[in-house]
Amino acid sequence: NVLMPMGWDAFGLPAENAAMKSAQAPAQWTYDNIAYMKQQLKSLGLGIDWSREVKTCTPEYYRWEQWLFTRLFEKGVIYKKTSTVNWDPIDQTVLANEQVIDGRGWRSGAVVEKRDIPMYFFRITQYAEELLSGLDQLEGWPEQVRTMQANWIGKSFGVRFAFTHGNDEKLWVYTTRADTIMGVTFVAVAAEHPLATRAAQNNPALAAFIEECKQGGVAEADIATMEKKGMDTGLKVTHPLTGEQVPVWVGNYVLMGYGEGAVMAVPAHDERDFGFAKKYNLPIKQSIQVAGEAFSTDAWAEWYGDKERGVCINSGKYDGLNYSAAVDAIAADLKAKDLGDKQVQFRLRDWGISRQRYWGCPIPIIHCPSCGDVAVPDDQLPVVLPENVVPDGSGSPLAKMPEFYECTCPKCGGKAKRETDTMDTFVESSWYYARYSSPQCTTGMVDKASAQHWLPVDQYIGGIEHAILHLLYARFFHKLMRDEGLVPGDEPFKNLLTQGMVIAPTFYREESNGKKLWINPAEVDVATDERGRPTGATLKADGLPVVIGGTEKMSKSKNNGVDPQAIIDEYGADTARLFMMFAAPPDQSLEWSDAGVEGAYRFLRRVWKAVSDHVAPGVVAAYREGELSTAAKALRFQLHQTIAKVDDDLGRRKTFNTAIAANMELLNALGKFTEQTPAARHVMQEALEAIVLMLAPIVPHLGQALWSELRPGSDLLDQAFPKADPAALVQDEIELVIQINGKLRGSLRVSKDADKATIEQLALAHEAVVKQLAGGTAKKVVVVPGRLINVVV
């Protein structure tokens, strides 16, 4: 049973294979691939239901997404909160993260504002622990992806504690370095922190600074790269352990959305705080010492932040304690004062899904002046998108359509307003795999029995750019659905293959309003220097220069996609597929180039010719057993070695390029094999059949056509993948490499049963070794069975 969560192109794009036809291909070569494959699979009685297609932008799909939304909203798994976004002050719309560069908008020079808007959130943090621990079980996932997700979730063990001030008020902070608490010299709060707001009331300079902090992006990258700025609020808080008065600063690098919106600052042992303290002349107080190192406030040194080697100093009763002992002691003391405790924290934040867009599933909420936010009842689902929409490029078109948003409250029947935000399309892509199990189901999101049967997905394939967000959201959604009793198991995808990016150069021109107009590489002429580096580019249409951007992943937004259609038109879908598979392994990123497509095409023609030449004198059966010449034996050895390799390359390693290369080598060997005896022809038949079967997944049309030549009346789709014959892989003699001091100096053929002593003896008698020893003796001889001998001189 195979569930195919993939596009139609998995079967090959419909193309008239004119080029292949001219290369003596038979007439039946030309067909509509999809129609042909459908018909073939149907005639084979494989029970394929071609109506089992899932589209994620249909009312029925929306119905169940909204159905789940209303349930989760009532349970509080989805909640509403104010959130800070990047805001385009000219268009009055939310800016996408990629439209923000260094805190500036995509218009040259336009400064981005932060703005608070109400948003719906999925409480993904509730599942943080499970999302993290579940990674260990995902053995079919690349290590790289598991590491990225673990870092993203970012579990940390720290201490949450409070500085006290005023009339028993508390300023809470979270730190993973409680051992440095005696080195605190100030506290930094976010611009939006209540304490900052209060201090700004009679401090115009501070109020202005807070306003300034509201400019610039909210992306993590913006905050990490921007200049760290701050201003003293004039307020002081009391250190919970020393009782000292500590100044409170507003810092533009502290975000209200993270943790408590306030951080303790230890300039001596945190590089960022150190820079900040130097800039504003704040005290730096050493509280950690590493033996043999000298502390100086002049410049930052790596060891200042070393929690492995550091022990407390200048810290009173904590002096001499290492990291974990100090944290334990300090947390205990804070707890005793009721001013803090150890706390596990996650970096992961809740998932904001509200979008001010037209595309996307409408959020099924009705805002009633008297009842508040009311979920749309099941019998009024789905809320569908209106179709007569004229987007004007600013804000959501739905918000300008009274016919969409005017409604009555389901609870009280009064006049109410429908939510006009739609959901992040990541929500749709988070459960489509589950819907594939039961596409026709009209009684629920999924049919339980079908979901039980099909899930989890055995092999999931997607771009590496989805390593964190999409794959984390999908895992989270699976757990939500599991907890609603909809799907089995804890994880949606058993095995994961992450493709590398196909990258291409980008080109653009700046328009009069400052926005960038991205130009497709196909419309551009690029001039290069003698080393092949681009020196300039012009638009083909007008010959005037365009700006060369970076080389980035192909995307609609950067208009740097390359259409393989030109290759398909000229060489056919099989050649296009073979060429792409041969270019590089799938998990590697690839700068697109069509150089080399000729080679793929030539290879297919050679396969075609080899089969045609072989079947011309009449079809024979494949080799079974009997006497073979040395050459025929050697060919069978290579054949079965290739089968074993290709099986492993396709099945386990997913390195299609090396699988193809192995077939090329085998075909080259076949070309040199000229014996025409009956036995030799049987071996040839066996080899050609294997090549066709091994290549068929990559070049299905060629495979289908050639198989019918090799085995008239039988169908390729009935065949199993070839199996390596262990008997053919037995060799009497093996070749060992001789190294002297690790350098290749010769080789040796020995019996496969030769023992180490014999091999060593033979090696020492080898002329290259004798020459290098020059009468002396070998210091050491390393024998690696089946591989090499290394003589150390």
Which parts of 87-126 interact with RNA (CB under 7 A)? 94-99, 117, 119
* Cα gap 100→106, rounded to integer Å: 6
Residue 136 CB neighbour total at 10 angstroms: 9
Residue ranges of E strands in 123-244: 155-165, 169-175, 186-189, 230-238
Can residue 607 be called a binding residue for RNA (CB under 7 A)? no
Q: Cβ of residue 95: shortest distance to RNA, in angstroms?
A: 6
Which tokens go with 787? 């591989």
Residues 6+ apart with CB under 8 A from 657: 581, 582, 583, 584, 585
Q: Which is nearer to RNA, 714 or 741 (CB)?
A: 741
Site for RNA in 510-539 (CB under 7 A): 532
655, 691, 692, 722: which one binds RNA (CB under 7 A):
655
- Segment 668 to 727, residues that bind RNA, using CB under 7 A: 668, 671
Task: CB nearer to RNA: give 447 or 649.
Answer: 649
Q: Collect contacts of 48-54 with beta carbons under 8 A, ≥24 apart.
A: 51/439, 51/440, 52/436, 52/439, 52/440, 53/439, 54/432, 54/435, 54/436, 54/439
Part in contact with RNA (CB under 7 A); list of ranges 185-193, 217-225, 374-382, 475-483:
217-225
| Least Å from the CB of residue 598 to RNA | 4
Three-state secondary-structure class, residue 499: strand
Mask for 411-440, x = binds RNA (CB under 7 A):
-------------xxx-xx-----------
In sequence order, the β-bridge partners of residue 505 are 551
**Shortest reach from residue 427's CB to RNA, in Å:** 9
Q: Can you name the residues that pair with 119 across neighbouring β-strands?
A: 81
Beta carbons of 690 and 607 less than 8 angstroms apart: no
Question: Is position 156 an interface residue for RNA (rule: CB under 7 A)?
Answer: no
By CB under 7 A, is residue 228 in contact with RNA? Answer: no
Do residues 588 and 582 lie in contact, with contact meaning Cβ atoms separated by under 8 Å? no
For RNA, which stretch binds (CB under 7 A), given 189-197, 352-360, 703-711, 714-722? 352-360
Write out the binding residues for RNA, residues 744-783 only, by CB under 7 A: 744-747, 768, 780, 782
The one among 195, 331, 363, 788 contacting RNA by CB under 7 A: 788
Residues numbered 166-185 forming contacts with RNA, rule: CB under 7 A: none
Hey, what are 433's tokens?
């795999």
Nearer to RNA, 199 or 467 (CB): 467
Q: Which is nearer to RNA, 624 or 743 (CB)?
A: 743
The single residue among 58, 151, 394, 761 that binds RNA, judged by CB under 7 A, is 151
Spatial distance between the Cα atoms of 410 and 413, rounded to a whole number of angstroms: 6
Which of these segments, 202-210, 243-251, 355-363, 536-544, binds RNA (CB under 7 A)? 355-363
Asked if 213 and 250 count as a contact pair (C-beta separation under 8 A), the reply is: yes
Min dist. Cβ of residue 531 to RNA (A):
9
CA–CA separation, 387 vs 719, rounded Å? 49
Contact call for residue 497 and RNA (CB under 7 A): no
CB within 8 Å of 150: residues ≥ 6 apart: 132, 135
Amino acid at 57: C
Q: Which of 342, 385, 280 is nearest to 66 (CA)?
A: 385
Interface with RNA (CB under 7 A), residue total 105
Radius of gyration of the chain, Cα coordinates, nearest whole angstrom: 34
**Of the candidates 381, 445, 467, 710, which one interacts with RNA according to CB under 7 A?**
467
Which residues in the 447-466 window bind RNA by CB under 7 A?
464-466
User: Please, what is the minimum distance in Å from the beta carbon of residue 680 to RNA?
Assistant: 18
Nearer to RNA, 117 or 207 (CB): 117
Q: Hey, what amino acid is at 522? A: A
By CB under 7 A, the residues from 18 to 77 that bind RNA are: none
Gap between the Cα atoms of 253 and 189, Å rounded: 9
- Binding to RNA (CB under 7 A): which residues in 358-377? 359
Give the residue carrying structure tokens 């990016």: 501
User: Looking at 65, 192, 447, 649, which residue binds RNA (CB under 7 A)?
Assistant: 649
Interface with RNA in residues 530-589 (CB under 7 A):
532, 550-553, 555-557, 582-585, 588-589
Q: How far is the CB of 426 from RNA (least distance, A)?
A: 6
